[in-house]
Amino acid sequence: MHADEVDIDEGLVERLVAAQFPQWAGLPVRAVRSAGTDHAMYRLGEDMTVRLPRVPDAAGQVGTEQRWLPHLAPHLPLDVPVPLGHGAPGEGYAFAWSVYRWLDGENLHDRPLAERGLHDAAAALGRFLAALHRVDTTGAPRSFRGGRVDTADDEVRAAIRDLGADGTLDAGAAASAWEAAVRAPQWRGAPVWLHGDLLPGNLLGHRGRLTSVIDFGLVGVGDPACDMMAAWTLLTADTREVFREAVGVDDATWARGRGWALRFGLTAEHHYRGLNPALAAVGHRAAAEAVADHHRP
């Protein structure tokens, strides 16, 4: 998917673990299937997972997760990754990497929740974000998605033009929804903690309920609107209000959040439809839900 993507396989992971964490040498290593674009995941034994950046742009996320996940975790009502080891470059691999405790469950893209479970997940995810927004931000980094939604205006408009031209979407309806998001009042409050990438693939369900939030590579502080995009990447019209009530945001933040869902959805489908069908499908769904919600009477 990337010109600068490095080769990672089970043999490399075995060598890295043996060289840097000899206490875990010899444990079986198995690739974990994922539609993610920036990292490779491998299960280590039964109780751990190894996460390795695939591209240089993602390499800095390792230190961010290692530093801030232990700070955030005690305040959060859902499970998040627990760092167990901080790996260094070696064995021909150029980046830092992580070992985490294994979290049981399947991501909600591969195994969507039933309607009852989705209703409960909407409330649980809203409470999770409300708790995240209350955590002390002293020294926190800025989130990649913590600023204005319209910083990708050119990309969004190009996606609307191209996807509209081939019949993938109603360009006029999408443009109207985007204009409304861009016009929404901007965030004037203090920056709060954000996850930054609340897609179905970064949420785990177990026995029909939401249990874990993973992939904190974009964690940081800023406008809480970007995390509202879960309302359109994951939820339905019937469960969206449950989420909103639980997280407790104003109309402007909700409108900007719809804009983030539209921005992600349009640009993801535009870029990944020939490279990563799973992520393109998530993008298509997010954009379609955001446009429909904007135009709903």
The pLDDT-based confidence of 99 (bands split at 50, 70, 90) is: very high
Q: How far apart are the first and last CA of the chain?
A: 40
pLDDT at 275: 87
Q: Are strands 106-107 and 192-194 parallel, antiparallel or unpaired?
A: unpaired
pLDDT at 220: 98
The pLDDT-based confidence of 36 (bands split at 50, 70, 90) is: confident
Distances (CA, A) of 268 to 21, 135, 199, 202, 282: 37, 30, 12, 15, 8
List, in sequence order, every beta strand (DSSP E) within 45-82.
48-53
DSSP 171-229: HHHHHHHHHHHHHSPPP-S--EEE-----GGGEEEETTEEEEE---TT-EEE-GGGGGG
If residue 187 lies in a helix (H) or strand (E), which one and from where to where? none
Q: What distance lies between CA 61 and its chain's CA centroid?
A: 13
Please list the residues that pair with 48 across neighbouring strands: 44, 101
pLDDT at 1: 60
Burial class (CB in 10 A: 0-12, 13-18, 19+), 267: middle
pLDDT per residue over 107-130, tens digit each? 999 999 998 999 999 999 999 999
Token pair, residue 149, equals 């939604």
pLDDT at 37: 80
- Cβ-contact 159, 277 below 8 angstroms: no
Secondary structure class of 248 (helix, strand, coil): coil
Average pLDDT, the chain: 96
pLDDT at 2: 64
What does pTM read for this prediction? 0.95
CA distance 82 to 229: 25
The DSSP call for residue 217 is T
Question: Buried (b) or exposed (e) across 21-38, using 16+ Cβ within 10 A?
Answer: beebeebebeeeebbbbb
pLDDT per residue over 245-289, tens digit each? 999 999 999 999 999 999 999 999 999 998 889 899 999 999 999
Secondary structure class of 98 (helix, strand, coil): strand
* pLDDT more than 70, % of the chain: 99
